[in-house]
């Protein structure tokens, strides 16, 4: 139960870390650079291997679709262009919520030695959400994003091993699409809202 409490608290630590960094232009510039490296690394390390194992090259195509779809929508319709980053952000947070749901289920399994890894990598998840959402939509919407991740952790923990045993089809492909969407959001929206 302690690992559940720590994994719920970790995204809040990430958000607080953003607040501490944000008031120092040099630190926030370093944070921006870190995010431009960390998010692609997270997608390459956490998302693609699982998707590749299940779907092979199709998973790369789906990830590229997630990366390209917002840009294509922006080019096709100028009236939709201002909203594509917001849609990509919602898709990204939903994908993160799905990911942490599965991690919450893994935490419920007593033989799974993943607790420390889950807790530690939740801090950058909270930091990422706050970094993407807070500058554009404010405190309350960013808090909703953090709350979504926290709730998904609790639900995953409550459902536990049953969720992992079901093996839902398409989860890896959805996460690949979300990975592409997150990459678009970080490199496009982050570029426009993080100038200091």
**Is the Cβ–Cβ distance between 189 and 89 less than 8 Å?**
yes
Each of the 196 residues of the chain gets a pLDDT tens digit; together they read 588 888 899 899 989 988 887 777 777 777 777 778 877 887 787 778 878 888 888 888 888 888 787 777 666 656 555 666 677 777 778 777 877 777 777 777 655 555 676 777 788 888 888 888 888 889 999 999 999 989 988 988 888 656 555 555 567 777 788 777 777 777 765 544 444 3
**Residue 151 CB: number of other CB atoms within 10 A?**
15
Domain locations in the chain?
A: 2-193
Q: What is the DSSP letter of 138?
A: -
Sign for the CA dihedral angle at 86, 88, 90, 92 comes to negative
What pTM, to 2 d.p., does this model score?
0.67
- C-alpha to C-alpha distance for 146 and 49, rounded to whole angstroms: 26
**Residue 36 CB: number of other CB atoms within 10 A?**
15
Selection from 125, 136, 37 nearest residue 84 by Cα: 136
Sign for the CA dihedral angle at 20, 26, 31, 32 comes to positive
Q: What is the DSSP letter of 195?
A: -
Which residues have a Cβ under 8 Å from the Cβ of 108 and sit 6 or more positions away? 156, 157, 158, 159, 160, 161
């Amino acid at each position: 139960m302690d690992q559940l409490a720590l994994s719920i608290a970790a995204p809040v630590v990430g958000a607080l870390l953003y607040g501490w960094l944000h008031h120092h232009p040099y630190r926030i510039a370093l944070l921006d650079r870190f995010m431009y490296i960390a998010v692609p690394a997270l997608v390459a390390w956490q998302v693609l291997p699982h998707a590749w194992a299940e779907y092979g090259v199709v998973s790369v195509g789906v990830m590229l679709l997630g990366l390209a779809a917002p840009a294509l929508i922006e080019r096709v319709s100028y009236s939709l262009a201002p909203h594509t980053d917001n849609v990509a952000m919602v898709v990204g947070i939903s994908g993160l919520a799905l990911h942490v749901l599965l991690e919450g289920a893994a935490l419920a399994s007593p033989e799974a030695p993943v607790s420390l890894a889950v807790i530690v990598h939740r801090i950058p998840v909270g930091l990422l959400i706050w970094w993407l959402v807070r500058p554009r939509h404010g405190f309350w919407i960013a808090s909703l994003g953090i709350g979504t991740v926290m709730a998904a952790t609790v639900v995953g923990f409550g459902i536990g091993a049953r969720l992992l045993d079901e093996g839902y089809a398409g989860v890896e492909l959805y996460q690949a699409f979300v990975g592409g969407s997150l990459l678009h959001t970080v490199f496009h929206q982050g570029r426009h809202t993080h100038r200091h």
